[in-house]
């Protein structure tokens, strides 16, 4: 399973990268705004700064919603760095844009996936990744994890090369359950990644080991 961090904060990206387990970064306009990054030039410079930290897979989202403009914007984003994956929304023109960009050798991430039909269309168009938002489905009393399970089965049925990127992960169990089901990628906040480190018995065990060592080696 690949681990992506869902943030535009460079300090958090550095921290995850320093752990040695980071496979990529996802961003969106909301995350950029949260960091106070505005203006096309500044946003693209920030994408480049992220690419300079990580090894691959930096999702950069188009703002346009019309086919020709999405394609043009996607081409420009792809020029920033070979690590860029162009993030395209799940709309009619988005599917057309994914098909065109894929044919040009540009990797894509189809975002805002909320049902299997959308994910099938994205895979048929050649998306490198699809991003089902499991937390947002849970917010409206739907089962986000059930969607991941459904997509794993469908993609396996037809050997789609598109990877399932579980997004809107809210807590540690979301991530673990996505791993159990077979999601290819999980993107989540740094707190979820570092939360996997923690267990009270680990802390207690280490404390006892160190205490016993000190007794015999004072």
Catalytic residues: 87
Residue in 46, 56, 60, 41 with CA at minimum distance from that of residue 10: 46
Q: How far is CA 80 from CA 32, 53, 107, 116, 207, in A?
A: 17, 14, 13, 32, 48
C-alpha to C-alpha distance for 5 and 17, rounded to whole angstroms? 9
- The number of C-alpha atoms within 13 Å of 31 and in the hemisphere containing its C-beta is 20
Q: 3-state SS of the chain: helix, strand, coil percent to 5?
A: 55, 15, 30
Sign for the pseudo-dihedral over CA of 73, 86, 160, 189: negative
DSSP 174-212: HHHHHHHHT-SEEEE-HHHHHHTT--HHHHHHHHHHHHH
C-alpha to C-alpha distance for 95 and 104, rounded to whole angstroms? 14
Residues in the chain: 218
């Amino acid at each position: 399973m690949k681990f992506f961090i869902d943030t535009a904060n460079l300090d958090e990206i550095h921290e995850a990268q320093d752990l040695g387990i980071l496979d990529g970064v996802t961003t969106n306009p909301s995350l950029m705004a949260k960091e106070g990054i505005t203006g096309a030039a500044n946003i693209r410079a920030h994408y480049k700064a992220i690419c300079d930290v990580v090894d691959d897979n930096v999702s950069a989202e188009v703002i346009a919603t019309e086919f020709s403009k999405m394609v043009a914007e996607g081409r420009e984003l792809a020029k920033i760095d070979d690590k860029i994956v162009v993030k395209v929304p799940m709309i009619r023109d988005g599917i057309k844009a994914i098909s065109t960009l894929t044919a040009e050798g540009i990797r894509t991430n189809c975002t805002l996936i909320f049902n299997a039909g959308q994910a099938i269309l994205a895979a048929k168009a050649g998306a490198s990744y699809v991003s089902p938002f499991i937390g947002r489905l849970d917010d409206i009393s739907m089962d986000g994890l059930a969607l991941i399970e459904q997509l794993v089965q469908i993609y396996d049925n037809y050997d789609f090369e598109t990877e399932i990127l579980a997004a809107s992960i809210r807590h540690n169990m979301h991530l673990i359950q996505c791993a159990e089901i077979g999601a290819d990628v999980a993107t989540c906040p740094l707190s979820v990644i570092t939360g996997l480190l923690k267990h009270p018995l680990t802390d207690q065990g280490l404390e006892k080991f160190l205490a016993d060592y000190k007794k015999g080696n004072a």
